[in-house]
Amino acid sequence: MPKKFDTNPLDPNFPEKAKAAAASRYDAPPKTPYSTSEFPTTPPSITEEETRRFSESDFQAYSYAAPQPMAPYAPANFSDMNRASERKVAKTGVAEKWLIGLPYLPFSIGLVAGLILLLIIPKEETKVRFHAAQGLAAHVGILIVTSILSIVSNITGLAEIGSLIFTLVTTIMLIIFAIKAWKGKPVHIETVDDLTNWLEEKIGPIKS
């Protein structure tokens, strides 16, 4: 008669038999010893001399050439940039400094000189052609204003003094421009810039 609190009333030896049956169905794999990689027990002897030694190729790889000293900087001499040149201009045989002053001469001398220079001076002579065109443009502007004042003076009789003053002032200015150009100093007449560019572009050297 089984007891009231028996956990296995059928077979008291059931736990032991179950363990034996499980052991018979499962065979654990044999344990194989694993060996770690073998390392040398003592490192190779390296002397301090060997660690400091470099081959010639290694030394050349890390070597560099010392930078060369830079040449001393010489500032540009700006006083020479506008200095009148004694160079002979092509097709004229005249020094550049004389040609760039001719177009500013008063009394229509500069007008004729500027026109002739534009007709004979090559395009490569940019400095001479610029002054020729600017001098010619200045003379054209003076002629236009003088003509207007002359017409007004004939009608009203009041502009005669103004015309004389204008002629006197422009004559003095043209002489000053001519002297500055001969000395190589910059001459820029801003009021005739457009006409100067147009004349220099439209009046080219005559092809021989």
Q: Are 181 and 118 in contact (CB under 8 A)?
A: no
Residue 3 domain-assigned (yes or no): no
Residue 85 domain-assigned (yes or no): no
Distance CA 68, CA 70 (A): 6
Bridge partners (DSSP) of residue 166 are none
Distance CA 110, CA 174 (A): 9
Q: Who wins on pLDDT, 171 or 10? A: 171
| pLDDT at residue number 100 | 94
DSSP assignment letter at 103:
G
Residue 14 domain-assigned (yes or no): no
Residue 2 domain-assigned (yes or no): no
Q: What is the pLDDT of residues 65-123, one digit of tens each?
A: 555 555 454 443 433 444 567 888 888 888 998 999 999 999 889 999 999 999 999 99
Distance CA 46, CA 193 (A): 85
Q: Are 158 and 129 in contact (CB under 8 A)?
A: no
For the chain, how many structural domains are there in total? 1
Sole residue written with tokens 């890390």: 62
Residue 33 domain-assigned (yes or no): no
Q: Which domain holds residue 162?
A: 96-202
Residue 56 domain-assigned (yes or no): no
Residue 121 domain-assigned (yes or no): yes
DSSP assignment letter at 83:
P
Residue 166 domain-assigned (yes or no): yes
